[in-house]
Amino acid sequence: MRQPSRRKDYPYFLSYQTRWSDNDQYSHVNNSVYYHLFDSIVNTYLIEQCGLSPTSSDGIGLVVTSYCSFYRPLSFPQLLDLGLRVLKLGNSSVGYEVGVFEQGEDEPAAVGGYTHVFVDRITRKSVQMPEKLRDGLEKVRVQDVQRSKL
């Protein structure tokens, strides 16, 4: 079994203020909100580091599968640190993992992610990632997570 990830395992970070509406009626950040955060850090990285323009790029990334494991509750008004890494990188698809951290904590409160398939904006058929996008993703790719953990 893979060891759980730590802060140092993520090469790219962004902090997010939690919002009042993130807490559900059990007074903790609702499970769905983590997926909104995954979308936010992934797309910020794609826009700012990989040349994606959601309104004009020929290829756009659509989510085909997603998942999350929740280890410890989080709650508004905490400030969260999100870490991003790429676990798999193909010609038209990429698998991201996001670690969600409380400030000052080394172990993640949750770890999840999703697989993006890049498709043509109009036809929605699978397309190759542009070189600039792939190069950007390569920079946060983690080589061989499984073996390095042995």
Instruction: Give me the phi and psi of 131, to 5 degrees please.
Output: -60, -40
Q: DSSP strand E in 18-109: where?
A: 59-70, 79-89, 93-102
- Kindly tell me which residue out of 3, 32, 91, 148 binds its own copies, with binding defined by CB under 8 A: 32
Least separation in angstroms between residue 143's CB and its own copies is 25
Spatial separation of the C-alpha atoms in residues 132 and 50, rounded to whole Å: 6
Q: Does 55 bind its own copies (CB under 8 A)?
A: yes
Q: Which is nearer to its own copies, 64 or 90 (CB)?
A: 64
Find, among 83, 103, 98, the residue nearest to 17 by Cα.
103
Cα-Cα-Cα-Cα dihedral sign, residues 1, 64, 69, 133? positive
Q: Which is nearer to its own copies, 14 or 147 (CB)?
A: 14
Residues facing 82 on adjacent strands: 14, 100
DSSP tag of 135: H
Q: Which stretch binds its own copies (CB under 8 A): 3-11, 70-78, 99-107, 128-136?
A: 70-78
Q: Does 149 bind its own copies (CB under 8 A)?
A: no
Binding-residue total with its own copies (CB under 8 A): 45
Spatial separation of the C-alpha atoms in residues 100 and 102, rounded to whole Å: 7
Q: Does 88 bind its own copies (CB under 8 A)?
A: no
State the DSSP H helix or E strand holding residue 111, giving kind and residue range, or none if neither: strand 110-120
Q: Does 57 bind its own copies (CB under 8 A)?
A: no
Question: From residue 117 to residue 146, what is the string marking binding to its own copies with x (rule CB under 8 A)?
Answer: -------x----------------------
| Site residues, its own copies (CB under 8 A) | 14-21, 23-27, 30-33, 35-40, 42-44, 47-48, 54-55, 60, 62-70, 73, 76-77, 114, 124
